[in-house]
Amino acid sequence: MIVAQDGSGDFKTVQEAINQVPEANRERVVIEVRPGRYYEKLHIDKKMVTLKGEPGKTVITYDDCAVKRWPDGQKYGTFYSYSVLISGDDFLAEGITFENAAGPGSVAGQALAVYIDADRVIFRNCRFLGHQDTIFTAPLPPQPGSGGRFNSPREDFERRMGRHYFENCFIAGDVDFIFGSATAVFNDCEIFSYDRHVGYITAASTPQGEKYGYVFINCRLTGEAPPNSVYLGRPWREYAKTVFINTYMGEHIKAEGWHNWGSVEKEQTTYYAEYKSSGPGAKLDQRVKWAKILTDVEAEEYTIENVLRGSDGWNPLLVK
């Protein structure tokens, strides 16, 4: 199927094409999205869908945010702010820009570019543009930190662990802009931090007992934030896991590296580690004492295949 805004394809909007995929789809469906800015709040709920665009020219964008209000006056909150919600397993995107254009978090609050609640999800040569909470990798934690509800469109669905793979992608944000509970590998990606006084790249909520959380391999941490102003991560939940392997770190990365989110107890349960970090932000001798520097042997287990294999042997490098 071809989506083109000028009417030269089968559909003018991406959602129209998604809606044509069978509910119980079992064969890969490829949707070519021609260059343009598609202003859509998109829900991809069908399985085995591929979106193919032209890098930098095919943009799916929307501008909802946490402080926006429903007709009854209630705020949207974090999880209804998404531009694109992906809940169909085996989704693949190539050359697509996913954007939330609501603006800086200091004004708009949380504003998700993508909400990923699916398994075996792949992004290649994609761009993710937002500020606060750009990418959410579901599932949601078991319960909100302060009780009540998350106010999420996926709140009442089964909390399933997802595996997500990002290759050669550009991800921009300022606070907690990669967050959630999934196991995810970021391979050869550029992670760009905007200036937000104090920034945080990750906020993992890895469930207790999961071997892996977020793994960054051969990535580049860049940005416009001032020197020594951005943390590598802080734990959204007690057992957060985040590891950086062979990653270049710009001078915006804080010397201490990691933040405990105001909880000394989390220093005992989180797993934050690095291996062969480089660049002006790689001040490994100044990292917090409760973070880890991996040995050569320990680092060997952090391969794409090992991290994402799961019980079904999934290898995203073999998926076309």
> 0.75 cut: is pTM over it?
yes
64 has catalytic annotation: no
Q: Which of 267, 269, 214 is nearest to 245 (CA)?
A: 214
> Helix or strand or coil: residue 316?
helix
133 is an active site residue: yes
pLDDT (tens digit, 9 = 90+) per residue, 56-113? Answer: 999 999 999 999 999 999 999 999 999 999 999 999 999 999 999 999 999 999 999 9
Q: With 90 as the cut, is the pLDDT of residue 145 above it? A: no
* 3-class secondary structure, 110: coil
Structural domain contains residue 107: yes
Q: What is the pLDDT of residues 252-309, one digit of tens each?
A: 999 999 999 999 999 999 999 999 999 999 999 999 999 999 999 999 999 999 999 9
Do the domain assignments include residue 163? yes
Given 10, 133, 174, 285, the catalytic residue: 133
Asked whether residue 251 is domain-assigned, the answer is yes
Out of 176, 188, 195, 296, pick the active-site residue.
176
13 within domain boundaries: yes
As for how many domains the chain has, the answer is 1
- For residue 251, the enclosing domain spans 2-315
CATH code, domain carrying 234 = 2.160.20.10
Omega before residue 139 within 30° of 0, cis? yes
User: Could you tell me if residue 320 is inside a domain?
Assistant: no
The pLDDT tens digits for 146-195 are 778 999 999 999 999 999 999 999 999 999 999 999 999 999 999 999 99
193's CB contacts (< 8 A; 6+ apart) are 172, 173, 174, 199, 201, 221, 222, 223, 224, 225, 230, 252
Rounded distance, CA 9 to CA 141, Å?
41
**Does residue 247 fall inside a structural domain?**
yes
Encode pLDDT of 21-53 as tens digits: 999 999 999 999 999 999 999 999 999 999 999
The tokens describing 165, both together, are 């793979």
117 lies in a domain? yes
* Residue 263, in any domain of the structure: yes
